[in-house]
A = this chain, B = another copy of it.
Amino acid sequence: MTTSEVISELAKQLPASAILTDPAITDSYRRDWAKDPDAGHPLAVVRARSTNDVQAVMRWASRHSIPVVPRGAGSGLSGGATAVNEGIVLSTELMRDITIDPTTRIAVVQPGLLNAEVKKAAAAEGLWYPPDPSSFEICSIGGNAATNAGGLCCVKYGVTTDYVLGLQVVLADGTAVRLGGPRVKDVAGLSLTKLFVGSEGTLGVITEITLRLLPPQQPASTVVAGFHSLSDAVGAILEITKVMRPAMLEFMDGTAINAVEDAVKMGLDRSAQALLIAQSDSPGADRSREANFMAAAFTQHNATEVFVTDDEAEGAAFTAARRFAIPAVERLGTLLLEDVGVPIPALPQLLEGIQKIAQDRGVLVAVIAHAGDGNTHPLIVHNPEDHDEARRANVAFGEIMDLAISLGGTITGEHGVGRLKKAWLPGQVGEDVMVLTRKIKDALDPAGILNPGAMT
């Protein structure tokens, strides 16, 4: 069969206009936000509207051994949705149903809905979906589940997997299975729901997610402090996390502070080496007790200035400044975005090591972090037109992951391995775990058609 005959065969199984083949359109599906320079040219982009559509695609792909790259909103940062040659991109962006049962505090959502839309639908019922990637306004809930996405509130409220009670997944051969369901506790059989969360499209395509929701978050107090020394800032973080659970505990280094201040003029201390933004959302009087405790910890660890506010709008402005750090630093050049994590006591070594790598390689690296769980985002600024600088940036990208591994850390705390970090995965988990991983991959996707080249 010719390629166009193969595509026609698929078209017969799908609703009209589900398949896009015009390169002017399909080009925008070749890359996610990782902007993988090695992205392939897909045969077609398929926009599924239902689990049945996804099943038809996978049956067809199995029949013809055609690689399938599942794609949510395309906001991934590790190249998990990079298109491959001779393959198709399977987009779930049109699968956007949501049903909320306020009585049991459960949402059943299709993967194409954005995280912000899930939050909004929950809020309309007086409920809360906590996970909050910085990209929450543009990332899909399906992508969140596929990568086990995190965010700012993880430090107290956990990551995506902590909220996924059930999944519908289409397997490599087109079989649709339901895993878990609307039951808060359920240990019947292997923990397959948990296995598929974070599997980055390598084991199946998620077509429905059952999410646990919480009662609404309480108002938060915000505490902000600048530090002249990284080790002072980390000392304050440990002082806090060893005895309490802040609702947020975020970090920006001097480069990030100045980039944000250049962009939004908030009056941040440009001379600080570290800015910490913390919140308590504990109820009643405990909120100010916790806020005061954090402020005292900051002061005790030589903060240059400490600011405490109960005002929600003021607090939101600081959170927005932190969320704005990536676009602000991006004004300085193209970014290679890291996601390395270490145990919190190793943060000073990680941060100092990163600056040494930046100096050695002659590139600028700004660091922002979900400091309360040791998850950092070094942003490697470079000019991709300058090939030598781009090369040095890539070397630094790898060296920072090697550094995190050497400190007992992880190459990715919340973005996923995708294609960009795949070469470092064995260094972190070891060859025996890679063998175990491939056994599972081979058992579930023997022809290797599900997101080939990503993670496994």
Contact = CB atoms under 8 A, between A and B. Distances in A.
Contacts of A187: 147-148, 150, 198, 410, 412-417
A348 to B, nearest CB: 13
A199 B190 contact: yes
Contact of A243 (B171, B215, B428): B215
Contact of A179 (B155, B181, B433): B433
Interface stretch (A89-97, A116-124, A157-165, A380-388): A157-165
Given A162-B158, A442-B443, A183 B243 contact: no
B437 A190 contact: yes
A175 B430 CA distance: 12
B410 A186 contact: yes
Contact of A433 (B178, B238, B285, B416): B178
Contacts of A199: 190-191
Contacts of A139: none
Contacts of A429: 178-179, 188-189
A86 B286 CA distance: 59
A190 to B, nearest CB: 5
A429 B184 CA distance: 16
A10 interface: no
Nearest to A238: B103
Contact of A413 (B154, B185, B343, B456): B185
A183 B410 contact: yes
A323 interface: no
A181 B410 CA distance: 9
A183 B345 CA distance: 11
B289 A428 contact: no
Q: How many copies of this kind of chain does the complex include? A: 2
B343 A104 contact: yes
Interface residues of A, number: 91
A25 interface: no
Contacts of A162: 158, 162
Interface string A262-295: 0000000000000000000011111001000000
Contacts of A417: 187-189
Interface string A233-265: 000001001111100000000000000000000
A392 interface: no
Interface stretch (A58-66, A297-305, A368-376): A368-376
A185 B238 contact: no
Interface string A406-449: 00111111111100010001001110110111011111100000
Contacts of A442: 443
A412 B189 CA distance: 9
Given A103-B238, A104-B344, A191 B197 contact: yes
A133 to B, nearest CB: 12
Contact of A195 (B194, B425, B430): B194
A241 B105 contact: yes
A214 interface: yes
Interface string A373-407: 11100000000000000000000000000000000
A20 to B, nearest CB: 30
Pick the 4 closest A-B CB pairs, nearest first: A283-B286, A194-B194, A443-B443, A184-B373
Interface of A: 102-106, 126, 147-148, 150, 154-155, 158-159, 161-162, 171, 175-179, 181-192, 194-195, 197-199, 202-203, 214-215, 238, 241-245, 282-286, 289, 341-345, 370, 373-375, 408-417, 421, 425, 428-430, 432-433, 435-437, 439-444, 455-456
